[in-house]
Amino acid sequence: MKIIDKAYTLAKQVRLNAHAPYSKFLVGAVVKVKGSDQLFAACNVENASYGGAVCAERNAIFQMVAALGKAEPEFLVLVTDTLTGAAPCGFCLQVLSEFCAPDFPVH
């Protein structure tokens, strides 16, 4: 199985763990580390205090940093339950811009 396919499967699985009682919008994300087969999977976790919520994309990046320190992500797989998919929010784009190359792909 290709690493991108493995990441997609993992993102679909972890999405089901999302805690989204307010939006009902379940999101799974997987970050692949450049130069490695390591994958970091995460889901979104909402809170009644909106500022306390964390998106799946940031959650995956933060898990990578917690485990490896400074590492460069190669790509991100983002899975939602919408037919057309979704893009990272502004907060996530800012975090991605600080850890990723300008041509960083989001699948």
Q: Which of 81, 42, 49 is nearest to 63 (CA)?
A: 42
Out of 46, 57, 72, 74, the active site residue is 57
Q: Where are the alpha helices (DSSP H) in 1-107?
A: 3-15, 56-68, 90-99
How many whole angstroms separate alpha carbon 89 and alpha carbon 65?
A: 20
74 is catalytic: no
Residues identified as active-site:
57
